[in-house]
Structure 1
Amino acid sequence: NNWGVLQVLARKGIYINDAHLTETVLIQTNPIKLGAHVSVMEALMALYAKEVATPDRVLAAVQRFSQAHQRPPPADHEQALLLWVNEANLALRERIQQEAKGQGDVPVPDLKRVSDLNELCDGVSLAGLIAFYCPEELPWRSITVNKVPTVSDRVRNLLLVHDFCLNSLPFTVFHMMPEDISYMRGSMRPNLIVFLADMFNVLEIHPAKCVRFDKGAALLTEAYPRNSQGVAHRRCLPQSVSAIPDLRSSLDSNSSFSGSPMIASPSLKKSHSNHQTETHIEISKSEESFVVHRGRGVPTLSSVIHEAAGKPTHWEDTRRTSYA
């Protein structure tokens, strides 16, 4: 139902800027209108990124590791994702500076802030984002940072991101080639936004096994067991859950539940016995009132004619004068 899909997108605030896009165009197959279908797919990608990387959710994640003051939420999901990338790189730089204090003169890479998606083409910010969350999978020393990055520098950094998504995540989210981001074009912008939303999903919402929020901290897997998809089941349960007590342990052994037979108290036994005795007496009395005598014949019409209607009485002696 193509029209239903378009209505859902409109209700979610995603509008397709194509005046010629109609349901008739979408159901046409000879020839197929590929441009119309691409527009719908890009709208679905935008809806996914909007639903995953909400400004409030991204801001809550940023405030967890950023020392920045309280700030208003970003305007939309694109600005929220850029804020997340910038704050993660800033936190990585602060971590490197703390490590450099005890190791002498260690060159600190210049991780600049980005204000547009086109500035992610060099791969430095994307690789720094991964190095902050997964320092063992992608060490920050592997990132190539130059004031004027060359094409090889860009491709090298983007290859680090590509290999991380391919080897360290439970499922790859990098559905592009490094050259697609290096030579950033307008047609690849929706793909990059969805990639950032996928990274936010696997690094923050459902952290993968390789994610460490602090380099010196233990793996999150040790604290919170995960399934094959890397989803933590007990993120909000710091202590073990006690088992539900067996409330049917007093049933007899014939029941499917294990337990000891029920033992009644003496008073309960006595009252139950008295009740049974009274019930038996009442039933006996009711049965006696309906006893059938075998020697007595059943009255018929002929026998009633030859018998007297009743027994004689002395009614004539006691009768009084009436007023009739």
Structure 2
Amino acid sequence: MEELVIELNNIKKFYRKRNRVVKVINDISLKFKDDEILCLVGESGSGKTTLGKIIAGLIEPTEGEIRYNGKLLSQLKGKETKEIRRAIQMIHQDPFASLNPVRSVYQTLSTPLIYYKLAKDENDAKKRVLELLEVVDLTPPEDFIYKYPHQLSGGQRQRVAIARALTVNPKFIVADEPVSMVDASIKASIINTLKRIRREFKVGFLFITHDLALARLFGGDGKLGVMYTGRIVEYGLTDDIIENPKHPYTITLLSAVPEPDPVVTRSKKRIKLRSDDIPRLDNLPEGCHFHPRCPVFVEGKCDKELPKLEADGLNHYVACFTKDAREKMLGE
């Protein structure tokens, strides 16, 4: 399979709720290759999962276009559509809902192998399933292959879901908060499994999370997009954004991340927002959507105009009119 280049151009996703329009995704453009990693962070309801499903081809955008290797998704047919479906896989957030409860681990993992003719026969399929279980650290694999989801823990179920995504040798994986519903004690273990898979299989990732610490742990060498009310408000290299945040929302998120040293955490400055209420997607404020909460908003500017995502340094983009937000908010 050739290198995969994914392009999103002016993507919007709106839903109608009675007489109102709910703007879940509002004008997002991205371009990345299958060997890259992009972490998306933001509060619940910011549109991260919806964007992930659009990239995976599970839902269609209301406006805008998606291109794979320069070809419009809407124009792909037959074999090309099948190849894209195979190239981009998704790991869903909820391991309790994403696995069919009446199908064993073997049935779940062997079905795509047989459908895509990646296994010659039942024996070959079983051999491949056992290999996949070892890849995701479900060992010994013979203890898991014929179990059903209700016989597995939450972490084990999520590992099966990861193995399912790997069955068809994908080029790119959309991981939607893959550790948010597992025990804290095994989060790091699953993250390490995903990092190893990324290295060994040379697969790209869209890693969706609300936790900036997890984003840095998994994708510190990749790119980071910060989402707020359906828009990307800051975008660039992960380490650069975390070390030098420029949007007030990103600065606020980082101020809430605990430090390893409890003394440092206690002395860390907390950002006081003007409001704790997140705007409703069916009633977004005029101007910058963050301005009702922003402590450094400029009256007559931020509440009237919607800032565009523009370059502010090398490979660093921010949608904000206040260029010295960090200094004002943290007193640096």
Q: Going by fraction, where is helix more abundant, 1 or 2?
A: 1
TM bracket, shorter-chain basis: under 0.3
TM-score, reference length from structure 1: 0.24
TM-score, reference length from structure 2: 0.24
Larger Rg: 1
1 or 2 for the larger relative contact order (CA 8 Å, sep ≥6)? 2
